[in-house]
Amino acid sequence: MLISTSILSIKDNLNEKIEKLNKSNTDYIHLDIMDNIFVPNYSDFSNITNMTKLLDVHLMVEDVYKYIDIYSKLNPIYITFHYEINENKNNVINYIKNKNIKIGLSIKPNTKIKEIIPYLDKIDLVLIMSVEPGYGGQKFIESSFEKIEQLNEIRKNKKYNFVIEVDGGINEKISAKLKNEVDILVAGTFITNEIDFDKQIALLKGNT
C-alpha cells in the first residue's frame, strides 16, 4: 500500500516541510485544490516549485478544465476530478488523457459506487472520499468501508485495472483495516501535524 501525503493542513513553514516530505518515505504528495465553489474552502499550490515527489492532484473544483490546465504544468502522475461536477465526465476524462496524465475520478461520501460504473474502464484511479471534501482533520466516515468493499468486488469480477485510493480521516487504526483493500491511502494531519513524518508513514504502512 502506498502513502500520498496531503499538504493541505500545513499551516506554517510550508517550504521547509515540503523539503522534509521530499526526503521522507511518502510515495506521493497529495495536492488538494479547492475553488470555494465546489467546496467551501480555497487552496492554491500552483506556485510551489520545490516538490520532488510524484504529485497526486485532487481537484475539488467546478471549473475543472481551468485547473487541469494549471496543474498539468506541474507534471503530476494523477489528476483526479469529482463525479459530482456539472461537466460531461467522458469529455473531462479525454481532456486529461490527452495531456498524458493518469486520470482519477473521485466520489463524495454520499455518492454511490454505482454512479461511476460507466467510467471504470476509462480511468486509472478511483478516489473514495472518507470525509466530506473541504477540510483536513475530519473523522473517517465508517460507511466508507462498505463502498471500498463494493468497489473491490466490482474490480475483481470485471478485471478492471484502476487503483483504489481513500482520502480523509486516515490514521493507524483505519489503515490497519484497509491494508489489503486499497492501493493508496491519503493522509494529511496524521502525518503533517507530527515532527517525524517517517514514523507516521511507517505506522500507516504497518511496518513499524
Footprint on this chain of ligand DX5 (rule: CB under 6 A): 6, 8-9, 30, 32, 58, 60, 131, 133-138, 167-170, 186-190
List 27, 35, 124, 167, catalytic entry: 167
DSSP string computed for 17-52:
HHHHHHTSS-SEEEEEEEESSSSS-EE--TT-----
Nearest to ligand DX5 of 153, 194 (CB atom): 194
CA distance 164 to 41: 25
Q: Rule CB under 5 A: is residue 82 a binding residue for Zn ion?
A: no
Residue 76 contacts which entry, Zn ion, ligand DX5, none (Cβ below 5-8 A, type-dependent)? none
Least distance to ligand DX5, CB of residue 168, Å: 5
Closest CA to 128 of 118, 111, 139: 111
CA–CA distance, 54 with 51 (Å, rounded to integer):
8
| Active-site residue, 183 included | no
* Among 17, 53, 58, 89, contact with Zn ion (rule: CB under 5 A): 58
Q: Quick check: is 27 catalytic?
A: no
Q: Is 167 a residue that touches Zn ion (CB under 5 A)?
A: yes
The answer to whether the Cα torsion of 58, 207, 17, 174 is positive or negative is positive
Q: Known catalytic residues?
A: 32, 167
